């Protein structure tokens, strides 16, 4: 089933008065309307549009997040609360739970929440096997000097070098890893976008015997994003800002970047965007929109998102999940948190567990338990 994210995110305002926009946590470019509702079909869009008061029929303004379109003519009392929207989206997706089980091979009675035909994979996902590596190494020696007249010769050679480097970096011996890292570094320096993203990942993790260097990793991801809007680089930069690794922690910017990569159908970014919206981290809590993105991540093959969607859809009212809101054991009941924004102002927002376990109030250092949860969620999002 293919979800139309733009349709599901379209906003409708039902009563007229002058438009008023409110920025989330003071972040420029992240504007939200106080009155909107999600629609699920084009027919539903039309029926709702017809019900709008005639005095609200002047031309629409558009604001993007980052490219999801929110259309409005006025701001008014909300036609639905966040809870009502969430319940409506739950109803919509619960009607499709059988289809989801079939398509995602979900087994309610299985030991795991999800089964898939393909094994878990991570990026890069086109790494050659050890059996293919010797012939590819030989091909790489003559690729750039070959007299062949392929129109995509440079791209072919870059792609070949990248795949060889990826395979070498997964070998157990340090000599092969260093060779792979050297190939990858030289390729990144030519401006090959995949190599720039992966070289940043290797620097961040300290591959091939190097010490981890998160700051250098961030610089490569930033460069790759600025030049190419490379989805993996955008996602990795979002993770860095989400956890504060190699760069100042900025939840609002992290969510913006997750959305930017999710719009390019990056599965892990769609999962993280849904997770942030579900918890209200870096963005106003909107569980209806969160469910849309988690379903989208599921359709893109993200197994963790599939488990999360099923846990949300199968939550039973009155059932005790301890400190959590559903069986996914990821969203905490307690949400209120006081922290400082990037200008140092104390703000109250929704978050995870810092309030429950204590910790610093008023923008002190990040609570280790909350940070651990963040890293856990990010870790789960990297593999699909």
Answer whether residue 206 shows pLDDT above 80. yes
The whole-number average pLDDT for the span 75-79 is: 57
Tracing tokens 């338990």 back to the chain, one arrives at 369
Higher pLDDT, 106 or 193: 193
DSSP state of 347: E
For the chain, give the mean pLDDT: 74
Q: Is the pTM of this model over 0.85?
A: no
How do residues 332-377 score in pLDDT, each as one tens digit?
554 444 444 545 554 554 444 433 333 443 444 456 666 777 788 8
Longest dimension (CA), the chain: 72
More confident residue, 99 or 39: 99
pLDDT > 90: percent of the chain: 48
pLDDT at 152: 79
Q: Rounded to whole angstroms, how far apart are CA atoms 319 and 321?
A: 6
Residue 373: per-residue pLDDT? 74
The answer to whether 313 and 306 have CB atoms below 8 angstroms apart is no
Can you give the pLDDT at residue 33? 33
Q: What is the pLDDT of residue 384?
A: 79
Q: What angle do CA 149, 155, 161 make, to 5 degrees?
A: 110
| Cα 214–Cα 364–Cα 253 angle in degrees, nearest 5 | 50
Residue 163, pLDDT > 50, answer: yes
Q: What is the pLDDT of residues 308-320, one digit of tens each?
A: 999 899 876 666 5
Q: Which pLDDT belongs to residue 135?
A: 94
């Amino acid at each position: 089933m293919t979800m139309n994210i733009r349709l599901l995110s379209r906003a409708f305002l039902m009563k007229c008065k002058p438009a008023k926009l409110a920025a989330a946590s003071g972040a420029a470019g992240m504007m939200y309307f106080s009155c909107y509702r999600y629609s699920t079909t084009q027919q539903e869009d039309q029926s709702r549009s017809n019900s709008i008061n005639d005095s609200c029929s002047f031309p629409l303004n558009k604001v993007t997040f980052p490219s999801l379109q929110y259309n409005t003519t006025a701001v008014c009392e909300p036609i639905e609360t966040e809870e009502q929207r969430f319940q409506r989206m739950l109803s919509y997706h619960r009607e499709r739970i059988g289809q989801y089980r079939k398509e995602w091979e979900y087994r309610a009675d299985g030991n795991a929440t999800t089964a898939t035909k393909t094994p878990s994979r991570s990026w890069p996902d086109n790494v050659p096997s050890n059996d293919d590596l010797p012939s590819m190494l030989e091909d790489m020696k003559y690729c750039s000097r070959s007299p062949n007249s392929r129109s995509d010769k440079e791209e072919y050679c870059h792609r070949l070098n990248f795949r060889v480097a990826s395979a070498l970096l997964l070998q157990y011996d340090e000599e092969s890893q260093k060779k792979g890292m050297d190939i990858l570094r030289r390729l990144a320096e030519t401006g090959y976008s995949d190599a720039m993203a992966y070289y940043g990942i290797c620097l961040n993790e300290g591959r091939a015997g190097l010490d981890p260097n998160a700051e250098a990793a961030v610089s490569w991801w930033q460069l790759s994003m600025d030049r190419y809007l490379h989805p993996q680089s955008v996602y990795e930069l979002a993770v860095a800002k989400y956890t504060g690794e190699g760069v100042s922690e900025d939840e609002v910017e992290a969510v913006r970047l997750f959305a930017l990569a999710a719009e390019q159908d990056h599965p892990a970014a769609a999962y993280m965007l849904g997770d942030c919206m579900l918890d209200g981290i870096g963005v106003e809590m909107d569980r209806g929109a969160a469910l849309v993105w988690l379903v989208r991540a599921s359709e893109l093959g993200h197994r963790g998102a599939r488990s999360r969607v099923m846990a949300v859809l199968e939550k039973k009212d009155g059932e005790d999940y301890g400190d959590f809101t559903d069986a996914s054991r990821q969203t905490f009941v307690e949400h209120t948190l006081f922290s400082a924004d990037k200008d140092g102002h104390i703000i109250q927002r929704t978050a995870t567990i810092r309030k429950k376990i204590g910790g610093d109030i008023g923008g002190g250092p990040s609570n280790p338990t909350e940070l651990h949860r963040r890293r856990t969620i990010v870790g789960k999002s990297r593999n699909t």
